[in-house]
Chain A
Amino acid sequence: MQTADLPDARGHFGPYGGVFVAETLMHALGELRDAYEACRSDAAFRQELSHELKHFVGRPSPVYHARRWSEHLGGAQIYLKREDLNHTGAHKINNTVGQALIARRMRKPRVIAETGAGQHGVATATVAARYGMECVVYMGSTDIERQAANVFRMKLLGASVVPVESGSKTLKDALNEAMRDWVTNVENTFYIIGTVAGPHPYPMMVRDFQSVIGRECLVQMPELAGRQPDAVIACVGGGSNAMGIFHAYVPDPGVKLIGVEAAGEGIPSGRHAASLCAGRPGVLHGNRTYLLQDANGQIAETHSISAGLDSPGVGPEHAWLKDSGRAEYVAVGDVEAIQAFHDLCHFEGIIPALESAHAIAHAAKIAPTLPRDRLLLVNLSGRGDKDIDTVARLSGISL
C-alpha cells in the first residue's frame, strides 16, 4: 500500500493509529466516521468548506521568499508558508472550520475541544461563534495560568473554559477530560480534536482538513520559485501543521520531509517533548504511536518553551512516516528556537509563533550547509503575538 493511501479502513498507518478507546465511545466514533465519509464525497460540502476557507479564514495563505534572511544565512533559499496570516493567526482554523461544518450536518448543537497553548481552543471558539454553537474548551489549569490572553480570547468569543486539575494539568489531561465529556454527552456533542492524533477517524480527518496547506504550496512554489522545494520543514507537537504541509508532498520522492520536535532543555536533560526522536511506541488517547513514557508505561511529563509542542505523543501518521523513512525527524531546543524567533523578527519583519520558530531554527541550521540554489519550504504555522509575554520574560522584561 502506498504511504499516501493510508490509513486503512480501520484507521491503521502500518502498526500505528487504530481505535484504542473504551466501548462507550465506539458508537460515537462510528457515527463520526460515517458522517465524515458522507461529507468527503459530497460536492456541496466541499464547496461550502472552500467558501468558508476563502471568505472567513482568508485562504489561500501566501508563500513568501525570506530573501534577506536567506542572504544572511548564506546558503539555501528559504520560503515561508504564511499560515500565520489566517484568521485567528494559525493553521488551527483550517481544521476547526471543517469539523464544525460536519457537526452542523450531524445536528450537534454543542462542540467541545481540548487545548494546550490555547490556539486550538481559540480556533474552536471562533467557529462555534460563527455557526452559533455552544462551546466548551478543556484546558489544563497549568496552561490556563501561562496562557491568560488566549483564555480571555476564548471567553470573549463566548466559550466556557473548563480548568482540568487531573494528572499533569496540561494538554494531555485536557484531552482525557474532553473525551470524558464526549462519552457522557454524546447525543448532542461533537468533539473537535485539534491535532492529527486520537482514535480513527481523527488523524485522517484532521490531516485531510489541514492538507489544504500543502496543496496550495504545490501550486504556489512553481509560481514563485519556478519549481517544487528540495525540502519541506515543519514543527511537530501533535503534528497537524506538519501533516498539513507534508501530505501533498508525500508521493514526490524528490522532496525531503523534515519534522522538527521540541528538544526543550535538551534530550539528555529529560526535559523535552521529542516523542519521535526519544520516545517508543505505545497506546494513548485512542491511538498507537510514539510516546514519551517511563519504564513502566506511565506517560511522562514533557517540557518545551512552546506550549503548542509540549505534548508526550504525536500523530500516528508521523510515527509511520518515521518508520518508513519517508520523513526525517529532528529536535530543536528552547534556546535555538528563541534565537530563530528573534532572527525572523529582525530580518523579515515577521513575529513567528514559538512553535513555528522550531522549524525556522532547523532551516537556519541546514541552509548554510546547502548551495544557494536549493529551496527550503518552512511552514510558518502561526504568528507569535501570543508568545511575546514569554519572550519578554526570558529577556527579563515585564510587559
Chain B
Amino acid sequence: MMAWFRAGTSLLMLVLLTAGCAGGKSYRLGREAEQRGDAHQAYDFYCKAAKESPGDGSIAASMERIAPTAATYWHSQARIAGSEGRYSDAWRMAIRCLEIRPNHVEAIQFVDQLEREHPTVVASARQAWLRSGSKSLTVAKSDGVQVASARPGKARPKARRKPSPNPSPQSRSTSPAQNRPKAAKRTKPTPGPRITANRIGDPEKPMPLPPQPKPSPPPENAKPTKAAVPPNDSPTAQKEGEYLVVRTLSKRDKRFKRRMKAVDGIFIKLKDTEEEPDVDLDLYQGDRRVQKIRNLKVGRSKIFRGRSGSWYRLTVLKIHHKSHTVRLGIKAA
C-alpha cells in the first residue's frame, strides 16, 4: 500500500514539475541572456517562453522588466542605422522597438521622420514587413516557433552576415514568384538584406539585426603608449575626420585623462578595458551617471543623448588593453 502511495506521489510530483516547466528552456535561456547583458536576446527568449505558457507570472514579470532595455537597444540601433544612411534597416529596427514598446514616443517620432524624409525606401521596407506579417493576421493560424540559435552564446555569430553592397530590401524583387524561393532560403547566408525574419518572439514580424561592426583598425604596435595614439597620417586618423570630437582616455597612460568632456554637456569616463578587447564606459551629465556602456568592441557604436536632447553616436576607434587606453569618436546621430 505504501509503495503504491509513494509511486503515486512521485508521479504526481513529476507531472507537476513538467507542467511547471512549460517554456522552461526558453525562460532559462532568457535568464542567461539577461545575465550576460543581452537584453534584446533575453526578450526574444522570454517571448518564446510566453508563447508556450502565456499565463506564467514569472515570464510576464521578466518581460516587463527587460522590455525597456530591449526597446532602447533597438531604438539606439535604429538611430545608428539612420545615421549611416541605412534607412530601411533603421525603419525596421524602430518598428522592432515599437513591437516591444508600442508607446515608445521617440521611436514613433523616428518612424514618422523616416517615413516623411525617405518615403520610397520606407515604403518598400513596410511592404516586406507586411508580407511577413500577413500570415497570422488574416488566417490566424497558430504558427510554429523557431529559435535562431538555441545556445545563446552562438546566437550572435549565427545572426551576423557579411556586409551587403545593397542592404536595403529594395534589392528584393517585388514579384511574388521570385520572392517565394528567396524566402524559403531565408536561413542561408545569401547576399541580400541583412534583416531576416524574426521567428523568436514575434513570429510574424521581421527582426532586424544589429549593424555590422566596422572593419577593425590595424593591429597595435609594439610600444603601448604610442600605439594608443595613431599618427596623423594613419588610416584611423584619416577616418577620424568624420567625427565631431575624438577623445583618448586612459587609466594608466598619464598623458591622457580618464574622464573627459565629450560633447553637449556629456562627460565620458573610462571604466575599464578587457583583453578581448572591449571597453566599459560611463557617461555622465555633471556628476550624474546617465548611461552605462559595457563590452563595446572596436568599430561598434552606441548612441547617447546630449543635454540639449540631440542624439550622438559614440564609436570605439581603438583599444590598447596593456595601457588601458581607448580612442573614441563622437558624431551626431
* A is bound by B: no
**B contacts, CB < 8 Å to A:** none
